[in-house]
Structure 1
Amino acid sequence: MKKKILFFCDPGIDDSLAIIYTLLHPNLELVGIVTSYGNVTKEQATANAYYLLKLANQEHIPIIPGAANPVQQDPVTYYPEIHGAGGIGPIQPQSDMKYQIYPFDTIRYLFNKYGKELIVVDTGRSTSLAIAFILYNQEITNVGAFYIMGGAFFVPGNVTPLAEANFYGDPTSSNYVLKYAHNLTIVPLNATQDAILTEQIIQHVIQQTTSPFRDLLKPIFLYYYKAYQKLIPGIHGAPIHDLLAIMLINNPSIVNYIFYDAKVINGTGEAKGLSYIDLRPTGQNGKTRIATKLNYSLFIEDFIDVMVNTER
């Protein structure tokens, strides 16, 4: 039986690759996409999600627009230099696309329909997921598991020296989700910063695959890679952070884990968005599974296997 995925995201190049991977995976079924602000505006993220579903001929999958701003109503920063003005690098979905969007309450319907079969993945700011917890506090207890891409534990951040972008973007919502989500896996920069794809790997996939995303892969990867070459001089590829959160659902052995309950610092100071755990001798292990060291060879093997073997 395929694992049912409800995907909260803000595509974004790495979110887009995560969506593509999910659509191609033989053991995963994407049952809904909740779009929100982050890498791009909510409106652009929604259009990008539909564009990817259209390429895959999967327009029946509901797209559910979520939050447009964080809880704190701080000014939202977008990242066209990393993801492109439209969020998918040099690719510009048609501006006149017509598509159906679904009301936010569709999330409650999916919680009830799939129950323990449903896995929620959040690779963007957690505002929309926190709202779902608040609105559907009973129904959400039936969800099977949660995977959150966010945080950086004892490694540098990527949006400030201390903070990872998703937790920094709405630390209040991130804290809420980390507190109330059960069967939770956090996938932080500790692991995702090493989830690097290279031009050679992408070229290999393009040569082998017949998927509807074949012509999309190289231009969006190269755009992303060039951005990372400016951010991290000498890097030999681009880290596809959000992809790893999806990948661990079916292949958890790709990373090592520690078990601690995490928190995120709120406020507006230099520590905003910092994620932390209690490592003191008196600190206790928690129930939250936090990904740490990545097994790079397993990561690449899994990526190529799913992206090339597209018979579903």
Structure 2
Amino acid sequence: MPKKILLFCDPGIDDSIAIMFALINPEIEIVGIVASYGNVSKEQATANAAYLLELAGKPDIPVIPGAFMPIQKKMITYYPEIHGEDGIGPIQLPVKDYIKVYPFDTIRLLIEAYGNELNIVDTGRSTSLATAFILYPQQMKLVNGFYLMGGSFFAPGNVTPLAEANFHGDPTSTNFVLKHAHNITITPLNTTNYAYLTDEVVDLFSKHKSNPFAFMLKPIFEYYFKAYKKLSPGIIGAPIHDLVTVMTVCKPNIAEYIYYDAQVIEGIEAKGLSYIDLRPLGQPGQTRIAIKLNYDIFIKELKDCMLKMI
């Protein structure tokens, strides 16, 4: 029976590839997408999510517009040099006068409908998920588990020397989620930085013309990889961060874990820094934190899924 996922995201190239994977994978059923600000604006993220669902022939999956800014209003920085002006590299979305969207309360309805069959995956800023906890505290207790892409534990960040972009984008909301959620898995940069795809692998995926995303995989990957080559000279592939988080729902063995309760610094100087207490007397906790990627398992799972004939 496929794992049911309610996906919070901000597509974004790596979010988009994660969505493609989930839509193709018979072991996953996306029951809704909450699209928020992050890599792009809320409006663009919503349009991108709806476009990917349309390509997959699944336009009836609800697209729910989420937050348009963090709870502590600051200047929001987007990254067109990494994700493109519209968030999907060089791909231009068709002009549409209308995109069908669903109200935020659809989150509550989906949780009530699926109960503990439902997993919530958040690959973007934590604002929308924190809002759901504030609005629907009883319903959120019904969810099976929560999977967060974010943080970097005792390793460099990617938006500042200390912080990863998602946890940095709204650390107050992230702390709220970490406090109130249960059965949490975090996939930080410690693992996702090594979830790289190469030109050769993407070429292989793009040859399957029955794959509804075949035409766009290569151009968006090339755009993304070009940006990462500037950020990390000598890198052999582009890391698809959000893909790891989605894959972990069905294949937890793609990573190795430690169990500690995590927190995120909200102060200006170290904003977004995620940390755990690794002192000798520090106590293990309940949050599962992926600390090392099993790359061979990751790439095999990806190939097995993406090479299926649709």
Q: So what's the TM-score if we normalise by structure 2?
A: 0.99
Name 1:132's counterpart in structure 2.
Answer: 132
Name 2:268's counterpart in structure 1.
Answer: 268
Name 2:224's counterpart in structure 1.
Answer: 224
Amino acid in structure 1 at the alignment position of 2:123: T
SS at match of 2:64: strand
Deviation track 1:69-113 (CA, whole Å, cap 9, x = no partner) reads 001101100000000000000001123252210000000001100
After superposition, the Cα gap between the structure-2 partners of 1:96 and 1:132, relative to the gap in structure 1 and judged at 3 Å, is same
Name 1:110's counterpart in structure 2.
Answer: 110
Q: What is the CA distance between 1:310 and its match in structure 2?
A: 3.8
2:195 paired with 1:192: no
Measured in 2, the distance between the counterparts of 1:82 and 1:51 equals: 20
CA contact (8 A) 1:90 1:219 kept: yes
2:246 paired with 1:278: no
CA contact (8 A) 1:4 1:30 kept: yes
CA contact (8 A) 1:120 1:145 kept: yes
Deviation track 1:36-77 (CA, whole Å, cap 9, x = no partner) reads 000000000000001100101100000000000001101100
Amino acid in structure 1 at the alignment position of 2:125: R
Measured in 2, the distance between the counterparts of 1:247 and 1:79 equals: 25
Name 1:238's counterpart in structure 2.
Answer: 238
Measured in 2, the distance between the counterparts of 1:95 and 1:123 equals: 26
Q: What is the CA distance between 1:209 and its match in structure 2?
A: 5.6
SS at match of 2:125: coil
Amino acid in structure 1 at the alignment position of 2:17: L
Q: How does 1:150-189 map to 2 (within 5 A)?
A: 150-189=150-189
Measured in 2, the distance between the counterparts of 1:267 and 1:33 equals: 31
Amino acid in structure 2 at the alignment position of 1:205: F
CA contact (8 A) 2:208 2:309 kept: no
Q: What is the CA distance between 1:126 and its match in structure 2?
A: 0.4
Amino acid in structure 2 at the alignment position of 1:218: K
CA contact (8 A) 1:209 1:307 kept: no
SS at match of 1:162: coil
Measured in 2, the distance between the counterparts of 1:84 and 1:207 equals: 24
Measured in 2, the distance between the counterparts of 1:94 and 1:206 equals: 21
Deviation track 1:178-224 (CA, whole Å, cap 9, x = no partner) reads 11110100000000000000000001112246211010100000000
After superposition, the Cα gap between the structure-2 partners of 1:96 and 1:145, relative to the gap in structure 1 and judged at 3 Å, is same
CA contact (8 A) 1:23 1:30 kept: yes
After superposition, the Cα gap between the structure-2 partners of 1:56 and 1:65, relative to the gap in structure 1 and judged at 3 Å, is same
Name 1:288's counterpart in structure 2.
Answer: 287
Name 2:255's counterpart in structure 1.
Answer: 255
Measured in 2, the distance between the counterparts of 1:306 and 1:225 equals: 22
After superposition, the Cα gap between the structure-2 partners of 1:234 and 1:97, relative to the gap in structure 1 and judged at 3 Å, is farther
Percent identity between the two aligned chains:
62
Which runs of structure 1 show a deviation greater than 3 angstroms over 4 or more consecutive aligned residues? Answer: none
Measured in 1, the distance between the counterparts of 2:133 and 2:179 equals: 11
Name 1:300's counterpart in structure 2.
Answer: 299
Name 1:207's counterpart in structure 2.
Answer: 207
Measured in 1, the distance between the counterparts of 2:55 and 2:82 equals: 23
Q: How does 1:12-161 map to 2 (within 5 A)?
A: 12-161=12-161
Number of equivalent positions: 310
Measured in 2, the distance between the counterparts of 1:141 and 1:222 equals: 41
CA contact (8 A) 1:5 1:118 kept: yes
Amino acid in structure 2 at the alignment position of 1:166: N
Measured in 1, the distance between the counterparts of 2:83 and 2:205 equals: 21
Measured in 2, the distance between the counterparts of 1:141 and 1:295 equals: 31
Measured in 1, the distance between the counterparts of 2:65 and 2:208 equals: 35
After superposition, the Cα gap between the structure-2 partners of 1:161 and 1:68, relative to the gap in structure 1 and judged at 3 Å, is same
CA contact (8 A) 1:7 1:121 kept: yes
Amino acid in structure 1 at the alignment position of 2:112: N
Amino acid in structure 1 at the alignment position of 2:215: D
Amino acid in structure 2 at the alignment position of 1:50: A
RMSD: 0.8
